[in-house]
C-alpha cells in the first residue's frame, strides 16, 4: 500500500493551494458577509483546469482522477469552503454529461462548462422527498418526437438563478427509481422560474433557491444517458460528490488547526503561552490525529472510485460520514481554543463552523451514510 503522493499529484496540490491563498482566502470573509457569488474567481479557476477536473480532454476537460480532485478541493477549501463546494457541484454536472452524454451534447456543453462560460447546477432534491430521493415528483412527458414537457420543482439548488444550465432528475416512467431520467435544462427556457434566494447559516458565497418547471419544453437530445438511467447516474455522481464534500471539510479543518496553532503560540495566560499548557497540547494532538484519519479515509475512497472498486459506494459513505463529523468537531475545538475571539468575525473559525455544518446534511445526510454502510455490511455477511 502506497501512502506517498506522486510528483504529479504534489504539483496539482501545490497549484490548488497557491490559487486558494491568492484568490480565495483574501476574499472569503467579504463573500460570506455580503453573500457575493464570485463567478469571476470561478472562471479563473477554470483557466487552471479546475472546472472539469475528471472530464475527458477531448472537449476541454482536465482528465484527472478522483484522488487528484479530492486534493484540489481540500486545498481550495482552505481559502473558501463555500466557493470550493460549489465548484465541486459544477464538476459533478460536467462529469455526468461527459460520462453518459452523447457526443452531440458533450460537444455542446462541456467546452462551456470547462471554461465556466456556463455555470451549472445539480437538481435532485425536492421539498417532499428529501433523503428519499427516489420518491421525486418532477415529471417529464414526451411531446411528439422532439421535446419533453417538464413540470415540478426542486429545492435547495446551489447556484439557483445564477447558473446557466441545470442537470434535472425527473420522472419519465413509472414511480420506481427506474422511472427517473436526467435532462439538461438551460436558463431562459420558457416556464423555468426561481424561488427567493434562501437566507442560510453558511455557504453564503453561493446562491441557493428553489427551481420551478411549468410546462418547460426541453429537446429530447438533452437527455443524459438513456431513459431510466437518471437515478443510477445520480447515485454514481453522489459517490464522487461525497468524497469532494469530505475533502472540503478537510480543508476547512486544516485552516482551523493552523489558526489554533498561530493563536496558541501568541496568546499568553497566567504567564505562559497557551501552547505550553498540556491541556492545549492534548487538544491540538487530537485535532491533528483526527484530521489525518479523515484524510486517509477520503483518499482511500477517492482511489476506490478510480479503481472501480465494488465497495466504492460504501467507502465513500464511510469517508463522508467520518470526515464531515470529525472536521466539524475540529473547527468547534479550534473556536473553543480561541475563547471569545473565536466567536468574532475577525477570525475564520465562526465562518468555518457555519460552512462545514451543512456538509453533514448534503450529498446524503450522515444518517443515510450509516444506512448505506450498514446495509453493505449486512449484505456481505450474508454472501
Average pLDDT over residues 73-102: 97
Q: Which of 211, 228, 245 is the last residue of a domain?
A: 228
Mean pLDDT is lowest, of 127-141, 188-202, 344-358, for: 127-141
Q: Residue 319 in contact with residue 301, Cβ under 8 Å?
A: yes
Q: Residue 359 in contact with residue 249, Cβ under 8 Å?
A: yes
pLDDT score, position 209: 97
In percent, how much of the chain has pLDDT > 90?
94
| First-last CA distance in the chain | 27
pLDDT score, position 382: 87
Give CA–CA dist 141/174, Å, rounded.
12
User: 76 in a domain, yes or no?
Assistant: yes
Say whether both 131 and 203 belong to one domain.
yes
Say whether both 185 and 283 belong to one domain.
no
**What mean pLDDT is reported for the chain?**
96
Residue 15 belongs to domain with CATH number: 1.10.540.10
Active site residues: 363
Phi, psi of 224 (to 5 degrees): -95, 120
pLDDT score, position 110: 96
Cα separation values, 234 from 117, 136, 181, 224, 297, Å: 24, 12, 9, 11, 22
Q: Which of 73, 88, 118 is the last residue of a domain?
A: 118
Over residues 275-293, the pLDDT tens digits come to: 999 999 999 999 999 999 9
pLDDT score, position 2: 74
In this model, does residue 383 exceed pLDDT 90?
no
Give CA–CA dist 124/133, Å, rounded.
7
Say whether both 377 and 313 belong to one domain.
yes
Q: Residue 273 in contact with residue 262, Cβ under 8 Å?
A: no
Phi, psi of 167 (to 5 degrees): -90, 105
Burial 317-340 (b: 16+ CB within 10 A, else e): bbbbbbbbbbbbebbbbbbebbee
User: In the structure, what pLDDT confidence band is assigned to residue 1 with cuts at 50, 70 and 90?
Assistant: low
pLDDT score, position 131: 83
Say whether both 304 and 245 belong to one domain.
yes
Say whether both 269 and 196 belong to one domain.
no
Q: Which of 118, 133, 164 is the last residue of a domain?
A: 118
Give how many domains the chain has, as a whole number: 3
Say whether both 138 and 215 belong to one domain.
yes
Give CA–CA dist 287/254, Å, rounded.
9
User: In the structure, what pLDDT confidence band is assigned to residue 205 with cuts at 50, 70 and 90?
Assistant: very high
pTM of the model: 0.96
More confident residue, 197 or 131: 197
User: 1 in a domain, yes or no?
Assistant: no
Amino acid at each position: 500500500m502506497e501512502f506517498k503522493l506522486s510528483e504529479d499529484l504534489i504539483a496539482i496540490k501545490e497549484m490548488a493551494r497557491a490559487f486558494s491563498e491568492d484568490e480565495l482566502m483574501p476574499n472569503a470573509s467579504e463573500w460570506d458577509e455580503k453573500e457575493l457569488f464570485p463567478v469571476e474567481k470561478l472562471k479563473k479557476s477554470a483557466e487552471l483546469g479546475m472546472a472539469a477536473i475528471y472530464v475527458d480532454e477531448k472537449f476541454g476537460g482536465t482528465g484527472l482522477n478522483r484522488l487528484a480532485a479530492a486534493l484540489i478541493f481540500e486545498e481550495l477549501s482552505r481559502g473558501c469552503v463555500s466557493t470550493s463546494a460549489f465548484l465541486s457541484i459544477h464538476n459533478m454536472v460536467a462529469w455526468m454529461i461527459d460520462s453518459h452524454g452523447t457526443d452531440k451534447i458533450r460537444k455542446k456543453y462541456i467546452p462551456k462548462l470547462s471554461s465556466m462560460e456556463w455555470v451549472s447546477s445539480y437538481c435532485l432534491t425536492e421539498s417532499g422527498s428529501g433523503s428519499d430521493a427516489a420518491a421525486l415528483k418532477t415529471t417529464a412527458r414526451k411531446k411528439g418526437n422532439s421535446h419533453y414537457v417538464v413540470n415540478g420543482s426542486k429545492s435547495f439548488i446551489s447556484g439557483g438563478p445564477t447558473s446557466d444550465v441545470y442537470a434535472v432528475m425527473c420522472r419519465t416512467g413509472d414511480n420506481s427509481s427506474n422511472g427517473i431520467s436526467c435532462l439538461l435544462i438551460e436558463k431562459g427556457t420558457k416556464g423555468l422560474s426561481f424561488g427567493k434566494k434562501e437566507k442560510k447559516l453558511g455557504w453564503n458565497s453561493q446562491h441557493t433557491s428553489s427551481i420551478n418547471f411549468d410546462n418547460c419544453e426541453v429537446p429530447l437530445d438533452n437527455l443524459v444517458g438513456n431513459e431510466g438511467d437518471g437515478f443510477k447516474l445520480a447515485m454514481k455522481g453522489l459517490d464522487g460528490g461525497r468524497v469532494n464534500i469530505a475533502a472540503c471539510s478537510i480543508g476547512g479543518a486544516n485552516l482551523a488547526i493552523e489558526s489554533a496553532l498561530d493563536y496558541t503560540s501568541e496568546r499568553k495566560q497566567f504567564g505562559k503561552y497557551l501552547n505550553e499548557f498540556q491541556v492545549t497540547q492534548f487538544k491540538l494532538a487530537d485535532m491533528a490525529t483526527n484530521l489525518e484519519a479523515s484524510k486517509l479515509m477520503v483518499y482511500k475512497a477517492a482511489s476506490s472510485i478510480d479503481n472501480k472498486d465494488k465497495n466504492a459506494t460504501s467507502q465513500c459513505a464511510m469517508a463522508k460520514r467520518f470526515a464531515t463529523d470529525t472536521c466539524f468537531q475540529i473547527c468547534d475545538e479550534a473556536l473553543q481554543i480561541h475563547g471569545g475571539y473565536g466567536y468574532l468575525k475577525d477570525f475564520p473559525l465562526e465562518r468555518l463552523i457555519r460552512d462545514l455544518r451543512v456538509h453533514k446534511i448534503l450529498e446524503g445526510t450522515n444518517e443515510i451514510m450509516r444506512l448505506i454502510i450498514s446495509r453493505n455490511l449486512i449484505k456481505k455477511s450474508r454472501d
